[in-house]
Structure 1
């Protein structure tokens, strides 16, 4: 299992790293397009659509992304879209987590499918725009999610086991704790500070998310980092909720040893568009 996991990770990195650092943003956008199509297929199956119908859902997601690409939206200012994404993601995540696993089947399947596809579409637009803005900016958003996850794991293991473990959502993800959430947020704040210093020291041609926020207001950067770290956890929990409702451990077996594509990008789905939303306030 470990060998399979390592081999898959290496193969993914061999494809992802050149695409991220390529001067031309098209390869990365195309790679992310394929990922979103695969995630849409997984989403359909998690919601009970099998066979040809699941491929139709994936095709619709790919078509929406393709139309947006053809219309030049990957480089266009879309403040209304990002603000709408924030207005939907925050209350929606709160509602779903409050309703829990039992509440998921009560939502009409057509609504679940449509909202999932739109979430993937918006996330693709956000990640394509982030790449177009520059590698430093793109990686700063990716790193936020990675550090929030790693920090949550180690803080949960250290403080959650040493002291009384305050379960975050025991019915959805028993391993997650509030100690982990705050540990992840702290890790992101440290990351943000170090990244701002690195941007200044190396004279980054493209400012990171953290430098942009800091330049507007250090307090905004602190609040934004905590907010985005929290939403990355929410994205992970929402996918866990859907998988539990479907009785599945992983979204698929597309990535041997790692589960499915949704398992790898769930925390990015809210974080990417919400990071783009926060940038809108910097232009006020």
Structure 2
């Protein structure tokens, strides 16, 4: 199993790295579109719509992402366009993209509403009522969440590679910190009916690790040559030290919500993994569940640092 996991991870890295380094935006956009479409296929299968309906769901995710990108005029098929520098200011009007952003800020505020209110509702009542929600509503929710995640991926890439990697590493740090913190200190169960292994102590440890990562990353931003400010530097500049720590704690907490949400759906479906598309790792949703809320919500918080 370990050998399989390592081989799959190496193949994925070998595919991803060239798209990150490419001078054009389209390789990364297409690769992530393939993955997010696969996640749509998995979401459908976990929500009682298998076979052709699952394939249609995957195609619908790809189509919706492409349509929204075209409608908003996102530069995802041409040369890489990075964010406008801080020195140019950030004047914007309501509903319009911030300077340095291609996506209207209202979209990220919409994501906040869906993930915060919807996440609380699902985790509070989902174990009893998720299956009672009409299948079409559940599929529509999955479509919205996956499209938002893909738009956030594209926007984050346009903000700069350093920014994108800092968001990814926030999720990984929170997960690693929660795992070891839970094993070492875990006593109070976080959501025993959904994921018995998670504890409140693990969540706090994950937040602490994210804070330490932020401090190290900000030092790198200030003392080494990077292509763009990281998420941590942007939050520090825009919100101050205390505001940054609150924002990072919020994002670390929401990464747990994303993880628990997918665990609930799998539990309701009686599945251990979202699929077997990634040998040794399960499915695409298993790998991106925590990123689904963090990607758009990190951009929502970044917009607070502008204008």
The structure richer in helix per residue is 1
| SS state at 1:98 partner | helix
**Equivalent in the alignment of 1:274:** 297
TM-superposed CA distance for 1:18, in Å, is 2.0
**Equivalent in the alignment of 2:275:** 252
TM-superposed CA distance for 1:203, in Å, is 4.1
State the TM-score, normalized to the length of structure 2: 0.89
Task: Say whether residues 1:196 and 2:218 are aligned partners.
Answer: yes
TM-superposed CA distance for 1:20, in Å, is 2.0
**Equivalent in the alignment of 1:37:** 37
**Equivalent in the alignment of 1:4:** 4
Contact 1:44 1:50 in 2 (8 A): yes
**Equivalent in the alignment of 1:179:** 201
**Equivalent in the alignment of 1:215:** 237
Task: Say whether residues 1:231 and 2:254 are aligned partners.
Answer: yes
User: Aligned partners of 2:221, 2:164: CA distance in 1, in Å?
Assistant: 14
Task: Say whether residues 1:115 and 2:141 are aligned partners.
Answer: yes
Unaligned runs of 5+ in 2: 76-100
TM-superposed CA distance for 1:101, in Å, is 1.9
Contact 1:101 1:241 in 2 (8 A): yes
TM-superposed CA distance for 1:69, in Å, is 2.7
Contact 2:207 2:248 in 1 (8 A): yes
State the TM-score, normalized to the length of structure 1: 0.96
User: Aligned partners of 2:45, 2:287: CA distance in 1, in Å?
Assistant: 17
**Equivalent in the alignment of 1:22:** 22
Q: Give RMSD over aligned pairs.
A: 1.2
Unaligned runs of 5+ in 1: none
User: Aligned partners of 1:56, 1:5: CA distance in 2, in Å?
Assistant: 29
User: Aligned partners of 1:188, 1:208: CA distance in 2, in Å?
Assistant: 13
User: Aligned partners of 2:280, 2:117: CA distance in 1, in Å?
Assistant: 33
**Equivalent in the alignment of 1:137:** 163
User: Aligned partners of 2:185, 2:126: CA distance in 1, in Å?
Assistant: 26
User: Aligned partners of 2:24, 2:68: CA distance in 1, in Å?
Assistant: 18
User: Aligned partners of 1:90, 1:139: CA distance in 2, in Å?
Assistant: 24
Contact 2:103 2:155 in 1 (8 A): no
Contact 2:276 2:283 in 1 (8 A): yes
**Equivalent in the alignment of 2:184:** 158
Q: How many residues align?
A: 280
Contact 1:73 1:125 in 2 (8 A): no
Q: Deviations over 1:51-94 (max 9, x none)?
A: 11111111111001111233323562310100011011101111
Contact 1:102 1:245 in 2 (8 A): no
